[in-house]
Structure 1
Amino acid sequence: MKKIIILGLFLLLVQIVNSQALYRSFPSDVLGEERNVKILKPRNYSENPEKTYPLVIVLDGDYLFEPVAGTVDYLSYWDQMPESFVLGINQRESRYDESEINRESGFPEQQTLRFMDFVMELKQTMEDEYRVAPFTVIVAKDITANVASYYLMRKKIPVNALLQIDPDYSTLIQQNLINKLSQLEEYNYFYVATPESNNTLSELITQETDSLFATKKNLNLKHDKIEDTNKYNVSAHAIPRGLQFIFQEYSLIEGEKLLEVDLAEEMKYEGKENKKDMVRVIDRILEKYKMIKEVYGVDMKLRLVDLVTIAEYVESKKDWDQLIDIGVLAHKEYPDLLYGRYVEGLGYEGIGRYSRAIKAFNAAYGLQPAVGITKDDVLDKVELLQIKEKD
């Protein structure tokens, strides 16, 4: 039943994307001919003239574009990944010619090399014509996934992430893939999904390679062996899982993960008198957004929902001083909303500084309600604290 629901959602997303996509004939200097491409622009592109967006390039766009674009649109709507451009390249008549590898040398044939250069030509055109962030993902399947892997053989890797679905790797790629990945210096993501029956990747990506990459913080590598799938339906599962893996640093903060990281941090300093170097929750959220900008090229303000998550977590720990700092940060990010001042007031109330808390709540009263907190809630807080002050 779960598989049927996923496929049903997939078909719905395809229908939505079909009505939104831009179809374009692109004259290529590299190929010396025009090629058909499909482009899905981010939903709020025109409303955010200063914002830049990652680029997701889809090979085999004649059948992979719609499911990829639909998933990007869905995940970005729920803030699980940034809004992104999706560019699909139609290869219905040419995929075999443009994926041909020389059996003797192991390197791409000339037409395949021209196609690879054409993909980079398209990438450059997108960067010239639109506000594209310096983060590019290539999505490909079986033989085109093999072709995409050859970008790793170049001196300067022109992409930041590869999402590979049931790849049909050539011997040269199988022999050099792990070595090339280990040489990467910039922040990169390499996600490979295969049906349960495919054992080729299990032989390439083993526990030994996992330990090899454990110290390389810049490389994120995952082989996802998806149960109960075959070469036809594996894409429906791999696309959302792969995109979430690639954009894991962007996704919303979860309370459970905060607890896990916090416990690990406390264990590091257990028994130590000097704990001033402990990384606080507020520091981690600031580091997260710094990383979003550095890795994905997306400069964004702190999301209110993330601030609410860390505030609730810190309040549950009764870490009142840090709660005050979160309130100050929230007010800085959202000065028109009462939330920041309200949280600041909760912090001062927690440490027993009632007069200072009342001042913060009074400041909150003059601002706009947010996240379910009303002006009546603020007044209730003020009245209760005034009673406490008299006692």
Structure 2
Amino acid sequence: MKTISASVLLFCLLATSHAQAIYKTIDSYKLDGTRELKIQLPRNYDPDSERAYPLVITLDGDYLFEPVAGNIDYQAYWEDIPDCIVVGVKQDKTREDDFMYDDTTYFPSEGGANFYEFLSSELIPYIEESYNVSNFKVIIGHDLGANFMNYYLFKDKPLFRAYISLSPDLAPEMINRLQERLSILEQETFYYMATADADIKALRNDILECDAKLKTIQNDKLHYKFDNFDDANHYSLVGRGIPKALNEIFTLYKPINGKEYNEKILTYEGSPYDYLIKKYENIEYFYGFEKQLTENDIRAIAAACKKRDDLEGLEKLAKLVNKEFPKSMLGAYYMGMYYERDGNLRKALLRYKSGLLLEPSQYIDKEMMLEKMYEVQDALDD
């Protein structure tokens, strides 16, 4: 467990240079003692804000916390995934007891049963009381931990919405149980599993068998992804699996890119504006928080409305932007764009002029507003 790949070290450095971990100790009745935690809060976390964040629980936090926290901090910085609260549970001296299961039933027993209850009835309530946590929770485990996290799927209402299983050391019957349970899930659930060509042979064989069975599941509520990495072993696959898993889990959250624009927005049966509203509603439904409208997505929808001559959609977009960013040039710019496309050049000119007194955005500044004013004025003079 001491070997860490270069990619994992990179993300460890990213985590320590940008988002320092908070170290806490929690008293546990279930464990009859204490347990040490590592906690990473999002950059600029405001405890007084109403914003809620997905919670990522990392088992084996003594070595797995840093690569997870580093990846999340890095991808959230570029807005590819949302900011998250990351909690690592230290288990370096207790992991065999924590992950124990019965030799007959193959469900948690003794220390494993205690740790199971600690996580669900003590740790998560403690984090929810201390921080602004959304109802979207992720759990990440490696080998024994990757097997153990599956037991939370068997609750009547699973505790987690996303599971990242890195080279799991699967208990007997777990493959069949997973196939059966994932087939009947009633809430949207993400499940990621990974192995590698140089993984531990016994684990790899079971993982490949498990993958073959999980791929046969017909359940629209299950979002399953599997990776079989080349040139990686039991330890180095961790550094490659974490970013891939996060990318899959938060695909819906990502900014609109060229592929989504061409394949989904331009071919959407309704207005591009309706597509945008649906996308953000889905984000709130899946992840349990509202995503603030981004300028990248505004630009994409505006371009699609123009390409499809959807004036009504462009007007709705401009009004939404003006509502969401009342102090920004954005609202004036897109309302001016709407009037310009509608042929009402005088109103367009007035809108562009009104934007000069407002705050610039990432892409819209005073020079761009002046340029649009000159274009409209020249059109009026012709």
Structure 1 equivalent of residue 313 of structure 2:
322
> Is residue 224 from structure 1 mapped to residue 230 from structure 2 by the alignment?
no
Query: Contact 1:13–1:66 at 8 Å: present in 2 too?
Result: no
Q: TM-score of the superposition, structure 2-length normalised?
A: 0.90
What amino acid is the match of 2:246?
Answer: L
Unaligned runs of 5+ in 2: 199-203
Distance 1:315 1:256, change over 3 A: farther
Query: Contact 1:152–1:180 at 8 Å: present in 2 too?
Result: yes
Distance 1:124 1:162, change over 3 A: same
Alignment of 1:100-111 (within 5 A): 100-111=100-111
Structure 2 equivalent of residue 256 of structure 1:
259
Measure, in 2, the Cα distance between the counterparts of 1:358 and 1:230.
Answer: 62
> Is residue 145 from structure 1 mapped to residue 151 from structure 2 by the alignment?
no
Offset of 1:320 from its aligned partner? 4.3
Measure, in 2, the Cα distance between the counterparts of 1:345 and 1:15.
Answer: 45
Structure 1 equivalent of residue 236 of structure 2:
233
Structure 1 equivalent of residue 59 of structure 2:
59
Measure, in 1, the Cα distance between the counterparts of 2:205 and 2:80.
Answer: 30
Offset of 1:282 from its aligned partner? 1.6
Query: Contact 1:150–1:173 at 8 Å: present in 2 too?
Result: no
What amino acid is the match of 1:228?
Answer: D
Q: 2:340 aligns with which of 336, 349, 352?
A: 349
Secondary structure of the 1:196 match is strand
Offset of 1:12 from its aligned partner? 1.8
Offset of 1:9 from its aligned partner? 2.3
Alignment of 1:77-88 (within 5 A): 77-88=77-88
Instruction: Tell me the percent identity.
Output: 33
Q: Which moved more, 1:353-362 or 1:111-120?
A: 353-362
Measure, in 1, the Cα distance between the counterparts of 2:46 and 2:319.
Answer: 31
What amino acid is the match of 2:159?
Answer: P
Distance 1:362 1:245, change over 3 A: same
Query: Contact 2:337–2:348 at 8 Å: present in 1 too?
Result: yes
Q: Give the number of aligned pairs.
A: 373
Distance 1:389 1:263, change over 3 A: closer
Q: Which moved more, 1:87-96 or 1:288-297?
A: 288-297
Query: Contact 2:28–2:34 at 8 Å: present in 1 too?
Result: yes
Structure 2 equivalent of residue 126 of structure 1:
127
Structure 1 equivalent of residue 192 of structure 2:
191
Distance 1:312 1:48, change over 3 A: farther
Distance 1:139 1:4, change over 3 A: closer
Query: Contact 1:62–1:92 at 8 Å: present in 2 too?
Result: yes
Unaligned runs of 5+ in 1: 266-277
Tell me how large the CA RMSD over aligned residues is: 2.3
Q: Which moved more, 1:334-343 or 1:62-71?
A: 334-343
Structure 1 equivalent of residue 201 of structure 2:
none
What amino acid is the match of 1:365?
Answer: L
What amino acid is the match of 1:295?
Answer: F
Could you list the per-position Cα deviations for residues 198-228 of structure 1 after superposition, in whole angstroms to 9, with x for gaps in the alignment?
343333333x754643x51x32111122222
Measure, in 1, the Cα distance between the counterparts of 2:6 and 2:256.
Answer: 27
Secondary structure of the 2:94 match is coil
Structure 2 equivalent of residue 203 of structure 1:
209
